[in-house]
Amino acid sequence: MLNQVQIDPIITRSGARYQISLTYEVFGRPIHSAPIILVNHALTGNSNVAGEHGWWTELIGKGKCINTDHYTVLAFNIPGNGYGSEVILPYEEFVAQDIARIFLSGLSELEIDSLYMVIGGSLGGGIAWEMAALQPELIEHLVPIAADWQSTDWLIANCRVQEQILNNSKDPVHDARLHAMLCYRTPVAFRDRFERTVNEDLGIFNVESWLLHHGNKLRDRFGLEAYKLNNQLLKTIDIGRDGPQGFETIKKSKINIHIIGVNSDLFFTIKENRETFNELAEAGCEVTYGEINSKYGHDAFLIEFEQLADLLYLLFKSPRKTPKIKNQFTGS
């Protein structure tokens, strides 16, 4: 069920003032009756993380990796994502940190003063980093998946291409999705799936018909302004925007950090993930690193559920304790 909470007006980093109605969903135990796990959704996602149509239902539910018999699972909608929230214009007035501040205000309004975990993939993981830099004492476990604390030049460049398509195409959501799918997957995944086969009915390659299908699907369910805003947020993840103090706050905190990368990710590469892990480990932080091995690229966090559950499992063996977890670093 979609719920709503009113938060105090926010002044964005750009100086714009907004009155936000924050929508959210709760799964499992009621708020204040069990440890709380906040799940941050990705670019085209929403708060529907569990249940029949939940986008992470393979991980979240009764008896599953994130067991809703033992936890309260809370998920906010990024304002303006089109899922029970109004369109936000202009999108350029927001950065990822603004959304983190909105989520923290939502937690305050719900009288939540501690989180067992903040977990999110891609954009959701970036917002989790931003929340941890702003209010580290709130969070026991930080789990960014296929994400990092800062958008790289490569990611910013691809977001710029997305923005150009969204602002100039005659069919913007459809066409932007075609380009995005090339970033979310890998050449190997395309080769293994399509093998240059042809769709005889359409007279085009099957890889082309697959891309067109995904463009049509997103156009049917996701709004143009929501896409523009979330693309802007993905481009602006950066806990170091005001200098090194953002990352230093993380280093000095007591947060247990569990970084999960994807070995074939073209967006948030394992090189950056490993560098973040090494820097935190050298600073004496409680940090682990796990890696999903997959040909599917960035989208592996939405596909490789068994591997993801294996990496997360130790965090949920005892719902009210902080288990010891070994460093699961893989690769050279």
**Per-residue model confidence (pLDDT) at position 89:** 84
Burial class (CB in 10 A: 0-12, 13-18, 19+), 44: buried
Model confidence, pTM: 0.94
**Per-residue model confidence (pLDDT) at position 80:** 93
Angle between helices 245-252 and 270-282 (to 10 degrees): 60
**Per-residue model confidence (pLDDT) at position 323:** 36
Residue 329, in any domain of the structure: no
**Per-residue model confidence (pLDDT) at position 84:** 80
Question: Quick one: 70 and 143 in the same domain?
Answer: yes
pLDDT tens, residue by residue, 174-186? 999 999 999 999 9
Question: Quick one: 309 and 162 in the same domain?
Answer: no
Q: In which domain, by residue range, is 159 found?
A: 153-234
Domain tally for the chain?
2
Q: Which of 266, 287, 267, 265 is nearest to 276 (CA)?
A: 287
Residue 325, in any domain of the structure: no
Q: Between β-strands 286-292 and 256-262, what pairing exists: parallel, antiparallel or unpaired?
A: parallel
CB atoms within 10 A of CB 50: 25
Question: Quick one: 40 and 130 in the same domain?
Answer: yes
pLDDT < 50 positions in the chain: 318-332
Question: Quick one: 15 and 68 in the same domain?
Answer: yes
Distance CA(121)–CA(135), nearest Å, equals 20
Determine contact, residues 292/300, Cβ cutoff 8 Å. yes
